[in-house]
Amino acid sequence: MNLGNFNEIIQALSNPKNKEHTIKTNVNILRAMLKTLNLDKVRLMVDTRALLYVLPFANSQDVRLREAVLDILCVLSQVFPDLNAFAPQKHIPLIEQ
């Protein structure tokens, strides 16, 4: 998945006019992307705050959509059990002063 496709998914999730089928498809794509456990894809999901667009569907009437959202949360919680995973790294200066 490239960044362009990811942006299209986020735009589709943020558009309230989209039908539930489109929303379900895009949430399932994000879930499949996370289930690969590719650290770069997970960081992309977290860095772009895509979860903010996914979370509102946790109270959907569709059971499968709710299941996909909860599965995304579960995968994210397993990949980064330590909250310090996203702490900024300290850079070591090349020249000592």
Q: What is the dihedral of CA 9, 11, 13, 15, to 10 degrees?
A: -150
**Letter for the amino acid at 24?**
K
pLDDT for 1: 61
pLDDT for 55: 92
pLDDT for 5: 85
pLDDT for 72: 92
- State the residue for tokens 């960081």: 43
With a cut of 70, which residues of the chain have pLDDT below it?
A: 1-3, 81-97
pTM of the model: 0.73
pLDDT for 49: 86
